[in-house]
Structure 1
């Protein structure tokens, strides 16, 4: 009888001794870095203010942050170079959004095709790899000669800059697909369409979204070059026009607007990434 009563007690004692051990995270981990990022931004602003206030760099070349904020208000109320701030921003946003839509619409299907088909990869890989490392200013004259000085040449320049990262990321997403998933789906009788929609596309989606985020950054960095083509509106035009008159505060205003816009676009893609591929980085 004592053996029977002691057995449950011993079992309960062993259960109490069991401890859950959480594996140590690797890399940056899952903790938020918002506080660190805000503190870094404030430190950079403080350093900027100190350098400008102490005169380490001449005031003509480096205005104080408060002077840049004042200039934003001036441009907002009075405009710049014959256009309001809203007209400059909307012109740049129109070019970026249209170019991004074209680059995404063409880059994702072609990238998936290159990952799935040997002939498509052989035909498309060489020209993409050839032109992608070229800076946009290198083929800017060709855009002007071939397409004129209208919106077509500006948007085409942005499309070329944004297309390659999206296409190559889609291809990389397909090629990184574990063959075990494909074989498992085939063994369960999946058709080619089901294999593509349920296995290939979801597996490539994280790489595709990363490519879109990179492409948007490239597009914003190319914007200044695109708006060199006989523009009268746009943030890039505003920056180049102000630099010719050494209006450094206006240049900083344009840089700040591009940075905020690019950050907003990147944050939107990150949000979409968290919604569409919540498993990324957790498997």
Structure 2
């Protein structure tokens, strides 16, 4: 398995190094305006400066911590509610008919379309921001759970009933394990959607957060800080996704195997 992944890792590292090299050459030779595309050196200098002095009265870790707090609270709350509700909707068409129209209505809406309403209802503090991220997470998890339940093969269920399984045993040993691969896909999708929504959540009346730092830096044309914030968001996003994949590999080791 490791031998199969080795060429992919080499290509990945090579791609990153090529991008960094092109970035370094173009900025060093003055091929682009430094106000638009800062050099790697200036981004690194901005990182060192923010690590020492912070940005707008908050350290870099406080900005990152504020964003992660909003994101993770919303993500875990959405998972705790959407997974059982999605599985129940897959099991019972009446439950699905009750909730699906609501979810399908708001799911394609841009977050900023209803963020104003959330601010009016919940205020400008973290409550409205977490609720926005919660809604962004909820729909992908719910849809993946419903889809996972519906496509379970009837043979699995019939075989379990044949050997005398109860409804509880059916859910624990057949239905839930069969749904787990799709549930994790929904979790990964939800986390990605929520992270892209995070900047929108921090646009209004926020004083901390990586998204807010990037938006605030854009007002002063601090492209070095903008690039730094984007890089940090990208790295943390990858780490969060890899964390879910790591858990998935431990809980669903049979995924992709017959």
Alignment TM-score, normalising by the size of structure 2 = 0.95
- Distance in 2, matches of 1:66 and 1:177, equals 53
Matches within 5 A, 1:91-240: 91-240=66-215
- Distance in 1, matches of 2:36 and 2:5, equals 39
Residue 279 of structure 1: SS of its match in structure 2? Answer: coil
- Distance in 1, matches of 2:16 and 2:89, equals 41
Residue 282 of structure 1: SS of its match in structure 2? Answer: coil
Q: CA deviation at 1:91?
A: 0.7
Matches within 5 A, 1:4-83: 31-32=5-6, 33-83=8-58
Structure ID, larger Rg = 1
| Pair 1:187–1:30, CA change in 2 (3 A) | farther
CA displacement 1:147-174 (0-9 Å, x = unmatched):
1101100100000111111111111111
- Distance in 2, matches of 1:246 and 1:254, equals 13
Q: What is the aligned partner in structure 2 of residue 10 from structure 1?
A: none
CA displacement 1:21-44 (0-9 Å, x = unmatched):
xxxxxxxx9645222211111122
- Distance in 1, matches of 2:96 and 2:17, equals 46
- Distance in 1, matches of 2:135 and 2:141, equals 11
Q: What is the aligned partner in structure 2 of residue 18 from structure 1?
A: none
Aligned residue-pair number? 255
CA displacement 1:81-128 (0-9 Å, x = unmatched):
121111111111111111111110111011101111101111111111
- Which one has more relative contact order, counting CA pairs under 8 Å at least 6 apart? 2
Any stretches of 5+ residues in structure 2 without a counterpart?
A: none
CA displacement 1:237-283 (0-9 Å, x = unmatched):
10110001110110111111111111111011010111011111112
Q: Which moved more, 1:60-69 or 1:243-252?
A: 60-69
Q: What is the aligned partner in structure 2 of residue 252 from structure 1?
A: 227
- Distance in 1, matches of 2:32 and 2:78, equals 41
Alignment TM-score, normalising by the size of structure 1 = 0.87
- Distance in 1, matches of 2:155 and 2:221, equals 60
Q: What is the aligned partner in structure 2 of residue 24 from structure 1?
A: none
